[in-house]
Structure 1
Amino acid sequence: MGDIKHDETNFYSNAEDYWREIPATVDGMLGGYGSISSIDINGSKTFLKKFLGEGEGKTGTSCALDCGAGIGRITKRLLLPLFTTVDLVDVTQEFLDKAKSYLGEEAKRVGHYFCSGLQDFVPEAGRYDVIWIQWVIGHLTDSHLVEFLRRCQKAIKPNGLIIIKDNVSYEGVVPDEVDSSVCRDLAIVRSLVATAGLRIIHEEQQVDFPKEIYQVHTLALR
């Protein structure tokens, strides 16, 4: 079994190497698909707004966490307009540095910039209303994803939500050698969520994305 540890180390270090070479731009964050950013954000906003607000069972809007935040594309256009404070976590320091200027005047409402891979990141207990995890679960091994989701569960407030938005494959696990990630099918993602002790309270497919890219699904978890 010695190889697995070695392979796991490479899996993470190769991804870090990949992102280190990517330009700190929206197009870089989206692998050349910068044009889909608005469709993505609008879909996410419609999804998220179903849960936010005052009253029984509603999710608050004081603090959100953007996981795999990059330069803060989602923070800027989705989270900061809806939440009082947003924290960012990303493995690439250069992206977080760029976020400070990219977010502009609103950067003053960022609580923390954490430079860490999610496999090592421990979010503060009870801090977040929403933890947003987009286009990054493929960079975690199954066991690290389950462990991270368990840590997220401790980090959300009583009516808080964990949201995963990501590519799903048609069947099985499809490796991407280029950025050292994997794409899992929906059944696998659901089973990992269940293993983490979370339940899916709502699930949708993102519409109007280019036909040639993977389907993207959004899952709200508690």
Structure 2
Amino acid sequence: MGDIAKNETTFYSNAEDYWKEVPPTVDGMLGGYGSISSIDINGSKAFLQKFLGEGEGKTGTSCALDCGAGIGRITKRLLLPLFNTVDLVDVTQEFLDKAKTYLGEESKRVGNYICTGLQEFAPECGRYDIIWIQWVIGHLTDNHLVEFLRRCQKALRPNGLIVIKDNVSYEGVVPDEVDSSICRDLEILHSLANQAGLRIVHEEQQMNFPKEIYQVHTLALR
């Protein structure tokens, strides 16, 4: 057990150290793939719009949470245009500081900037219509991911949704030593969502990304 605890500590601290050295830019957020940002946002918008709007069972638009928000790339182009209030959570204070200027005039609709790792973060109960978790679950151990998703479920408003958008490996778990993260396959991801007591409402693959990067899948859960 001591070993796991020690390795876990290193897993998190190495990731924090990695992000501290990353420039607070869109290109930095996307590991040099800044050019895919628009394709990514447009895919996410089409995905989200299936659930938003008026009527029975539709998800509200009062408040969203951007997990692993970085400088607010997703907040700026996806969430602030669709939701009244957005909260940002990220482990790197410099990114959150940069978000305040990067988001420009619209930053006045940001509710909270929260600097913490998701493994320690407990979102406020019943606050969010959408909890958006993109390109960050690889920084959580399986147990911490399951626990975090359980806390997220409690943080949803009626008809609220948790959305995970992330890299998916072909098989098993693939470690990335560079940024101290892991990439899981779809079956493992489904199993962890299941352990968290969530069901998959909708799922699709993001198309038109460069061939050499991982497949990216988007899952809506509640």
Indicate the TM-score class for this superposition, using the shorter chain for normalisation: over 0.9
Residue 211 (structure 1) shift: 0.1
Residue in 1 that maps onto 2:170: 170
How is 1:137-152 mapped onto 2 (pairs within 5 angstroms)?
A: 137-152=137-152
Read off the aligned partner of 1:127 and give its amino acid letter: R
Gaps of 5+ in 2: none
Residue in 1 that maps onto 2:135: 135
Residue 38 (structure 1) shift: 0.1
Residue in 2 that maps onto 1:70: 70
Residue 54 (structure 1) shift: 1.3
Read off the aligned partner of 2:38 and give its amino acid letter: S
Residue 53 (structure 1) shift: 1.0
Under a length normalisation based on structure 1, what TM-score does the superposition of the two structures give? 1.00
Residue in 1 that maps onto 2:41: 41
Residue in 2 that maps onto 1:153: 153
| C-alpha distance in 2 between matches for 1:210 and 1:142 | 28
| C-alpha distance in 2 between matches for 1:201 and 1:151 | 18
SS of the residue 2:122 aligns to:
coil
Residue 30 (structure 1) shift: 0.1
Residue in 2 that maps onto 1:19: 19
* Structure 2 residue 111 is matched with structure 1 residue 111: yes
Residue 55 (structure 1) shift: 1.1
After superposition, give the CA deviation of every residue in 1:10-41 in whole Å (9 maximum; x if it has no partner). 00000000000000000000000000000000
Residue 136 (structure 1) shift: 0.1
Residue 115 (structure 1) shift: 0.1
Residue in 1 that maps onto 2:2: 2
- Please, what is the CA RMSD of the aligned residues? 0.3
Number of residue pairs matched by the alignment: 222
Residue in 1 that maps onto 2:181: 181
| C-alpha distance in 2 between matches for 1:53 and 1:63 | 14
Structure 1 segments of 4 or more deviating over 6 A? none
Residue in 2 that maps onto 1:206: 206
Read off the aligned partner of 1:108 and give its amino acid letter: K
Residue in 2 that maps onto 1:97: 97
SS of the residue 1:119 aligns to:
helix
| C-alpha distance in 1 between matches for 2:189 and 2:135 | 13
Gaps of 5+ in 1: none
| C-alpha distance in 2 between matches for 1:59 and 1:129 | 6
Identity of aligned residues (%): 85
Residue 176 (structure 1) shift: 0.1
SS of the residue 1:178 aligns to:
coil
Read off the aligned partner of 2:29 and give its amino acid letter: M
Read off the aligned partner of 1:174 and give its amino acid letter: V
Residue in 2 that maps onto 1:80: 80
